[in-house]
């Protein structure tokens, strides 16, 4: 059975979208990937779409989704990025918190280093938890 990873940030318009895209891109079908937000935005941040397009990943069709109890319950690993107490806690789940700057309202120059840091974190996640 392949592991399930849920990435959660406040708006599901930047960090969690980039993390989910990186994990899908780098791990392929070895993992089930989801992302959500405690207060989802109307659309993915355009600077995030542009930054990911620069590395060959298209987020233009993605839409922010609301974090649900069921999504957390279904995940083996839940990775939060600034959503605080909005993410429910279930016994037996692995929780990680990635302290990353919020790309909201930032231009492409500020988003690129966040994108690259997320890639490094996802590579470490794959090395440590995804077989």
Enumerate the domain spans of the chain.
4-129
Alpha helices (H) in 14-107, listed in sequence order: 15-27, 46-54, 69-74
Per-residue pLDDT reduced to its tens digit, 4-52? 999 999 899 999 999 999 999 999 999 999 999 989 999 999 999 999 9
Quote the CA–CA distance of 39 and 10 in Å, as a whole number.
Answer: 5
Q: Quick check: is 78 catalytic? A: no
pTM of this structure:
0.94
**Domain 4-129 belongs to what topology?**
Rossmann fold (3.40.50)
Q: Quick check: is 83 catalytic? A: yes
If DSSP codes are grouped into helix, strand and coil, which group holds residue 103?
Answer: coil
Per-residue pLDDT reduced to its tens digit, 92-124? 789 999 999 999 999 999 999 999 999 999 999
Q: Which of 9, 47, 49, 71 is catalytic?
A: 9
Half-sphere exposure of 83 (CA within 13 A, CB side): 30
């Amino acid at each position: 059975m392949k592991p399930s990873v849920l990435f959660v940030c406040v708006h599901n318009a930047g960090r969690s979208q980039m993390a989910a895209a990186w994990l899908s891109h780098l791990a392929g079908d070895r993992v089930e990937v989801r992302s959500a937000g405690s207060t989802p935005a109307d659309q993915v941040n355009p600077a995030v779409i542009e930054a990911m397009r620069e590395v060959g990943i298209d987020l233009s069709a993605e839409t922010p989704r609301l974090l649900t109890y069921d999504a957390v319950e279904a995940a083996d690993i839940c990775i939060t990025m600034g959503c605080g107490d909005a993410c429910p806690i279930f016994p037996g789940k692995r929780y990680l918190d990635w302290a990353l700057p919020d790309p909201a309202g930032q231009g492409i120059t500020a988003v690129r280093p966040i994108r690259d840091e997320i890639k490094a974190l996802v590579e470490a996640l794959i090395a440590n938890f995804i077989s």
